[in-house]
Amino acid sequence: MPTKRPKPRLEIPAEDKLDSAQRALRDAIASGPRGAFRPSGPFAIWLHAPELGQLAQALGAHCRYNTSLTPRQSEFAILATARIWRAQYEWQAHAPMAAKAGVSEKTIGDLRAGRYPKSARSDERAIYDFASELYRKRRVSDRTYARVLKALGTKGTVELTGILGYYALISMTLNVFRAQTDPNKPPPFAEPKL
């Protein structure tokens, strides 16, 4: 049985109705590493609070494009976050990017199904355990920390923590305001009953 799509909570402002702060946010996103502004998802939601959007998109550009993590490691961390938060839009946006970056289809399938990704590479499993433990317990054990530190180094561990925090913000934004997913694809996760 298909999952019913909840109605979005915000209307995305029309292009011809944007004020100067909203246009500045749109232009900053389009001229940055993302290369385009999409009238959906978190950035469209942040048009309603463009000052927050400017700061958040700049942090996101750094977290996504300028850390010491490889694109595969970064996209894996983003997918782990999207799964934990059941962020439908985030999953649909990043699952293809993760596959293109080298995360195996088996690993992506395990994450989507909520299974431990036991066939994932060792660094991906370390990232998964770190993310899962951090989100669940709000801390990480010495053992979990040591595994990520070995895989990513000190700088990478700090950056991974930032990536997880940023994509938790993205996931919360998408979930609270019910960002719409591609209507031609089924939602990746069942919507929880509230």
CATH of the domain at 164: 1.20.1290.10
DSSP, collapsed to helix, strand or coil, labels residue 10 as: coil
Residue 1 lies in a domain: no
**pLDDT tens by residue, 34-45:** 888 888 899 999
Q: What is the span of the domain harbouring residue 37?
A: 19-65
Same domain for 170 and 152: yes
Residue 171's closest CA among 98, 43, 109, 81? 81
pLDDT of residue 137: 97
Q: Residue 123 to residues 26, 92, 109, 183: CA-CA distances in angstroms?
A: 35, 23, 18, 34
Q: What is the largest CA-CA distance in the chain?
A: 53
Q: What is the pTM of this model?
A: 0.93
pLDDT of residue 3: 56
Same domain for 60 and 39: yes
Mean pLDDT of 56-80: 96
Question: What rounded mean pLDDT belongs to the chain?
Answer: 94
Provide the pLDDT confidence category of residue 1 given band limits of 50, 70 and 90: very low
Domain count for the chain: 2
For the four alpha carbons of 194, 117, 185 and 98, in that order, the dihedral sign comes to: positive
Residue 3 lies in a domain: no
pLDDT of residue 78: 98
Same domain for 30 and 100: no
